[in-house]
Amino acid sequence: MQLERATFVSDAWSEHSMRSEVASANGYYLVAFEPEHPERIDGYAGLLAPQGAGEGDIQTIAVAPHARRRGLGRVLMLSLIGEARKRGAREVFLEVRADNPGAQSLYRELGFEEIGVRPRYYQPDGVDAIVMRLAVPTPETTTA
């Protein structure tokens, strides 16, 4: 919750919401930390993808300032996409703040495309959400 509140200052999830998400049978959450420092969370990410539903939703992702620009966000996202694929998702959706170009850039690099806008979605700031979709790629096996 400390990272949640620090990252999403004005629109952090409540502790109750976070507990519900993490405990959900349809959810999948990852927490990243250095093995030498398990008390210090570097990042986390969550997916909602009921088995066989055909789609998933990236619920949240956060990377602590000290761990940014090292590829952790990409690793977390790729892990969520892989889990969505295992659960039978053919598409994955997410919302990203319109004022977060760094996250938007990462999502585009991973193959997400913008499909819409939710005006004033993030409250109390009144910031638009850009809705993005990824057609989950089929895994490929190649020779090394």
Q: Which of 74, 86, 7, 76 is nearest to 50 (CA)?
A: 86
Gap between the Cα atoms of 110 and 130, Å rounded: 16
Residue 91 among the catalytic residues: no
Q: What is the pLDDT of residues 65-84, one digit of tens each?
A: 888 888 999 999 999 999 99
- Tell me what the mean pLDDT of segment 38-64 comes to: 93
Q: Which domains does the chain have, with CATH numbers?
A: 2-135 (3.40.630.30)
Q: Which amino acid is at 26?
A: N
- Give CA separation, 56 vs 34, 35, 87, 121, 133, in Å: 28, 29, 9, 20, 10
Options 107, 113, 114, 122, the catalytic residue: 107
Residue 44 among the catalytic residues: no
Options 4, 28, 29, 95, the catalytic residue: 95
Q: Which amino acid is at 2?
A: Q
Which pTM value belongs to this model? 0.88
Of 8-12, 46-50, 91-95, 104-108, minimum mean pLDDT range: 8-12
